[in-house]
Amino acid sequence: MNIGIVCYPTFGGSGVVATELGKALAQRGHRVHFITYSQPVRLDFFNENLFYHEVYVPAYPLFQFPPYELALTSKMVDIVQNEKLDVLHVHYAIPHASAAFMAKQILRARGIQIPVVTTLHGTDITLVGKDASFEPVVTFSINQSDGVTSVSADLRRETYEYFAIEKEIAVIPNFIDLQRFKKQEKSHFRAAIAPEGEKLLIHTSNFRTVKRVEDVLRIFVGVREQIPAKLLLVGDGPDRNRMEKLARDLDVHRDLRFLGKLEAVEEVLSVGDLFLMPSENESFGLAALEAMACEVPVVSTNAGGIPELNVHGVTGMISEIGDVEDMVKNALYVLDDENLPRFKAAARARAEEFAVEKIVPLYEECYRQAAEAVAVAV
């Protein structure tokens, strides 16, 4: 197939999933065209089946805000028409699904039918989409899509709860490249970070309020009071400065490191003993899946789709949102030398259920069904 993928090109979960999906599709012989405003950060290798088309947004003094949705629509029309695309797959409802609808109408007027598949990733529904400024457009655009998927059953439930959706939403979970995300030999790195054999805790996120990074630090304080431990924090965002100050206030700053954004996060995960995800909301928990693939069990909250991934008592432990005391208790249980090997093995085994080669065919079937629906409608 000739597939167009529209996504945000950043480190965010939707952009990462969309890019990795496109790469996997290209390796399976499909021609994949990325349509976005800059090259996706994970689009990091050459393949004869991968193409990138930049959306140029002209800057005019008349516009207080650049009209990205209109420029994106025009670019979709251009690429569908000239590259003979078979399907458009848009990731994140705002503004990609509405732009795809407009593109579809323009193309129809030109005698071209293009099926549109929309994948919902989380905050496009749980946060931004609920805003009264966007809700009617989000609802309409989803209902006008020829295929709709969500990354978890919980996100599908929430979509039906908050929007008047008439389309069937298929759950296709996020996936993992097990060749990349696996435990690597990094004993020299671990020895440098934890020279006395301390347990290594890890957290990765965009350091926003919803990630509850303050809870990460307080969990670490509780664990460190009981056993020798170190903490690695990967990522960056608006809460980082506040967390650095809190680490000093809690007097744990000497036992943790802020590593910033890292492309090769699997190298850090390879030395970890426990991954902390105390989030207030997660549509799926891709960062936790990456940790599990590297044999790192997870202590998490029961937010959103996390319980669909992290199996309580098997791959890690689950607590209520904000219950730091319980998460400390759970962390100590997992980190116990008698329990840790079992949790590590189970985490990897669970990650293998989300292998990219198992999930990508589900998207291929979704494309086939969407194209079939459009053909029948014509």
Residue 13's pLDDT is what?
A: 73
Q: What are phi and psi of 232, to 5 degrees?
A: -115, 130
Residue 285's pLDDT is what?
A: 93
187-354: CATH topology is Rossmann fold (3.40.50)
* Eight-class DSSP state of 312: B
Residue 170's pLDDT is what?
A: 97
Residue 238: alpha-carbon gap to chain centroid: 19
List per-block mean pLDDT (blocks of 10 residues) for the chain, which spans 378 residues: 92 81 95 92 80 89 82 96 97 90 96 96 67 82 95 94 93 95 90 94 94 97 97 94 95 94 90 97 94 98 96 98 98 98 98 97 97 82
Residue 130's pLDDT is what?
A: 60
User: Going edge to edge, which strands form the sheet with 229-235?
Assistant: 256-260, 229-235, 199-205, 274-277, 298-301, 316-319
Query: Over the range 75-104, which residues count as b (16 or more CB within 10 Å of their CB) and which as e?
Result: bbbebbeebebbbbbbbbbbbbbbbbbbbb
Residue 32's pLDDT is what?
A: 97
Query: Over the range 23-42, which residues count as b (16 or more CB within 10 Å of their CB) and which as e?
Result: bbbbeeebbbbbbbeeebeb
- Closest C-alpha among 277, 197, 184, 185 to residue 235: 277
Q: What is the dihedral of CA 131, 132, 136, 142, to 10 degrees?
A: 10
Is the separation of the CB atoms in 342 and 164 below 8 Å?
no
Q: Do the domains 187-354 and 2-175+356-377 match in fold?
A: yes
* Eight-class DSSP state of 231: E
Is the separation of the CB atoms in 36 and 4 below 8 Å?
no
- Closest C-alpha among 209, 207, 229, 205 to residue 219: 229
Which amino acid is residue 235, in one-letter code? G
- Closest C-alpha among 178, 177, 103 to residue 144: 103
Q: Which CATH class is domain 2-175+356-377?
A: alpha beta
Residue 129's pLDDT is what?
A: 47
**Other C-beta atoms lying within 10 Å of the C-beta of residue 345:** 13
Domain boundaries, the chain: 2-175+356-377, 187-354
Entry pTM: 0.91
Radius of gyration of the chain (CA): 22
- Closest C-alpha among 361, 299, 356, 357 to residue 330: 299
User: What are the start-end ranges of the H helices in the chain?
Assistant: 13-27, 68-83, 93-109, 123-126, 135-144, 153-162, 187-193, 213-224, 240-249, 265-269, 286-293, 324-335, 340-351, 356-377
